[in-house]
Amino acid sequence: MVGQSPGPGSKAKSIFRLIRKQKKVSKQDLLDQCEMPVSTLTRVLEELTTQGWIRETGLGESTGGRRPILYEVNPDYGYVLGMEISRLNAKLVLCDLQTNKLAERGWPMTAEATPQYVLQRAVREIESMLAERQISLAAVLGLGIGAVGPLDRQRGIILHPRYFQAPGWENVDISRQLSEGLGIQVFLDNGANTAIRGEYWADPAREFKHLLYVHGGMGLRSAMMSDGKVVYGAVDMEGAVGQMIIQTDGRPHRESEGNYGSLESYTAIYALEQEAASKLKQGRDSLLRALAGSPEKVTFAHLVQALHKQDALTIEIFTQAATYFGIGLANLLNILHPEKVILGGPLITAHDLFFQISTRVAVQKAYYYPEYQVMFSRGRLGEDAIASGAAVMAIDSLTEE
């Protein structure tokens, strides 16, 4: 039964989705939210309970009569795996069906982290996590992968990502190879799309109709959801936000085919490192000089360290980058009009300054403000967003209509 979709059709999937989103819910609440006769809903709940996808979990508050039975996803029905493959790190998580994290593994994506190395290590680490929890592979519903694009998610191929330290990351048939190595279903999507899935399901408070996710790190990545489903373009568009032009005669992109004056050239980690090196060469005083030793050796880690020590030059550099990032966010708001924007990645998590400045600038430049009110938040999942969201994708693949 493990690995099958819940129930015989769309009715069971839609009810399962409602229970997933609300964590614990009564039959009456479900009846209020779905267009189903009570007899049909009763039958669907019985099917899902019998199959093991959901379980009864105590009684809710009385509204005048008998206390209602509450239902929740059965966490022990099966397990899912999520994997992140980024330019800096690889991460694996093992989750139950409620996406509670049970175990994790991680390693840096160094010059030795070729596709063969990563694939072999992933299999070893997965087998180790399962053995520690005494879980068999037969109980695993699937493995989701959130990777740096561009990629072909339908065929499960990482196409030609940039800036990996190790060679060989062109046209990697990663889904097939891991599926054969483990004997389970494997699903691939870009990291921004898996992150937005993870963040969506991590927030039970409200189901936003239009949700935008922007990740700031080595590059800029974005994803969008509408009515709880990821919006896909004609091609993998994860990194397209970084090519947004904010100054037509501005800085050249680090790649020759990139746009002049692109957002990424002013706000990505690489841009901050380059700006710091340039300022130090001009003779500016800064703690960065002592931390890095020379301008060419300034890293993002040095910048974060100096920022937390209130170094004036570093504050200036981050403030400038956050302002440009806010302009880019405003452009997205004026085109897409999301209800909520979730910001994630190292640029957001490093220090409050970047989030505060960028969101303030974005709101100031939103065209319909104050009539158009958008909510900004940092991701709930933090550094786990991509891997945990990839685990969510494995569940979604079985339950989406």
CATH number at residue 233: 3.30.420.40
Angle at 239 between CA 236 and CA 240, to 5 degrees: 85
> Does a structural domain hold residue 317?
yes
Domain count across the chain: 3
Beta bridge partners of 220: 216
> Is 43 in the same domain as 99?
no
The pLDDT of residue 1: 40
Residue ranges in the chain modelled with pLDDT below 50: 1-3, 8
Q: Give the range of the structural domain holding residue 14, as residue numbers without chain letter.
A: 10-73
> Is 308 in the same domain as 345?
yes
The pLDDT of residue 299: 95
CATH number at residue 64: 1.10.10.10
The pLDDT of residue 8: 45
> Is 375 in the same domain as 390?
no
> Is 98 in the same domain as 187?
yes
> Is 121 in the same domain as 97?
yes
Number of continuous H segments (helices) and E segments (strands) in the chain: 14, 15
Q: Quickly list DSSP for 133-202.
A: HT--GGGEEEEEEEE-SSEETTTTEE---S--SSS--SSB-HHHHHHHHHSS-EEEEEHHHHHHHHHHHH
CA atoms within 13 A on the CB side of 202: 24
> Does a structural domain hold residue 2?
no
The pLDDT of residue 32: 86
The 375-378 sheet, strands edge to edge? 229-230, 220-226, 210-216, 340-344, 375-378
The pLDDT of residue 239: 77
> Is 95 in the same domain as 235?
no
User: Which long-range contacts (C-beta less than 8 Å, at least 24 apart) are formed by 29-36?
Assistant: 30/71, 36/11
> Is 273 in the same domain as 374?
yes
**Residues contacting residue 312 through CB under 8 Å, at least 6 positions apart:** 285, 286
The pLDDT of residue 62: 67
